[in-house]
Structure 1
Amino acid sequence: MFDAIVMVDERFHGEGYQEGYEEGSSLGMIEGKQYGTFHGAKIGSEIGCYQGLAFARRCLLHGSATEKDSKKMKVLESFIGMIQKFPYADPTYDKLHEDLDRIRGKFKQLCSLLNVQPDFKISAEGSRLSY
C-alpha cells in the first residue's frame, strides 16, 4: 500500500514525459513541414526568377556577334547550366546551399556584365525580380 503512494511520483513523471514526448514529436513534424514548405518555395521562386531572366537575356543576345556579347553569352550559358543542374527534387542534397551560393554569385557576375542592378523581392503576393 505504501509502495503505491511512494512510487506515484515516478509513475506520473514517466507518464508525463511520454505524453510530452509524443505531443512534441507531433507538433515538431507539423512545424518542420511548414518551415520546409515556406523556405523551399522561397528558393524555388528565386531560382525561377533567375531562370526567367536568363532565358530572356539569351533571346536578346542570341543574334549578337560582337566579342563583348560572346563573353556575356558564355557566362549566361554557364548560368543556365547551373540552374538546370540544381537539384529541385532532392531536399536531402547536402550541397544545396553551396550550389545556391554559386548560382547567386554567377547571377551577380552576369548582372555586372549586363550592367543591370537587380532587385529581388519576396512578398505575400509572390516573388519578383526587377532591374
Structure 2
Amino acid sequence: MDDDIFDRIANLEDELEDIGYIEGLEAGKIIGRIEGREMGCDNGLSIGRDLGFYQGWVQQWLRTAAVRPGLVPERVLKKLTALQSAIDEVPMANGEGADFGARLKAIQLKFKTASAMLGINAAAELPTSTLSY
C-alpha cells in the first residue's frame, strides 16, 4: 500500500505537466486565433488601401489614354496594362499560395516603372503604407 502512495506522488508531477500542456495548448489556440484575426484586419486594411491606390492610378491613366489618343505612348500603355493585370490577379482571399508580399512588390515595381516612363515622381505619388513589401 505504501508503494502505491509513493508511486502516485512520484507520477503526480508528470500528470500535472500533461494537464498543464493540454490546457495551455487549448488556451493558445484561442489566443492565437484572436491575435491572427486582429493582425489580418490590420494588414488587410493596409494591403487594400495600397491596392486601391494603384488600381485608381492605373485606371485613371488608362481612361486618359482612351480619351486623348496619342497622349500616352504605346510602350507606356503596355506597362499600364501589365500593371492592371497584376492588380487584377491579386486574390481577394487569403489562401494557399497567396503570397501578398511578392505580388505587392511586383505591383509597386510596375508602378514605379510606369511612373518613370510618364515622367512622374513615383515617390510623391506613393501611398504612405506601414507595410514594407
What stretches of structure 2 of length at least 5 have no aligned partner? Answer: none
1:121 is aligned to 2:128? yes
Residues of 2 paired with 1:40 and 1:75: CA distance? 26
Matches of 2:54 and 2:92, distance apart in 1: 14
- Unpaired runs of 5+ residues, structure 1, are 124-131
Q: What are the equivalent positions in structure 2 for 1:84-95 lying under 5 Å apart?
A: 84-95=88-99
SS in 1 for 2:127: strand
Q: Decide which structure has greater strand share.
A: 1
Q: Give the letter aligned to residue 126 of structure 2.
A: D
Would you say how many aligned residue pairs link Structure 1 and Structure 2? Answer: 123
- Over the matched positions of the two proteins, sequence identity in percent amounts to 26
Q: CA RMSD in A?
A: 2.1
Residue 44 of structure 1, CA deviation: 1.5
TM-score normalised to structure 2 length:
0.78
Work out whether residues 87 and 93 of structure 1, in 8 Å CA contact, stay in contact via their aligned partners in 2.
no
Q: CA deviation at 1:89?
A: 2.7
Higher Cα radius of gyration: 2
Three-state SS of the structure 2 residue aligned to 1:110 is helix
Which residue does 2:108 correspond to in 1? 104
- Native 8 Å contact 1:76 1:110 kept in 2: yes
> CA separation in 2, counterparts of 1:49 and 1:18?
46
1:26-65 map, 5 Å: 26-65=30-69
- C-alpha offsets along residues 5-45 of structure 1, whole Å, 9 cap, x if unaligned? 22221121111111111111211121112212221221111
Higher RCO by CA contacts (8 Å cutoff, separation 6 or greater)? 2
1:5 counterpart residue number:
9
- 1:51-84 deviations in Å (ceiling 9; x for gaps): 0111111122223333852222222122112211
Once the two structures are superposed, what CA deviation does each residue of 1:72-108 show, in whole Å capped at 9, x if it has no partner? 2222122112211222234322444332222111011
Once residues 48 and 121 of structure 1 are traced to their aligned partners in structure 2, the CA distance between those partners, rounded to angstroms, is: 13
Describe the SS at the equivalent of 1:6.
helix
Match of 1:18 in 2: 22
- Of the structure 1 ranges 27-36 and 83-92, higher mean CA displacement relative to structure 2 is found in 83-92
Partner AA of 1:30 in structure 2 = I
Output the TM-score relative to the length of structure 1: 0.79
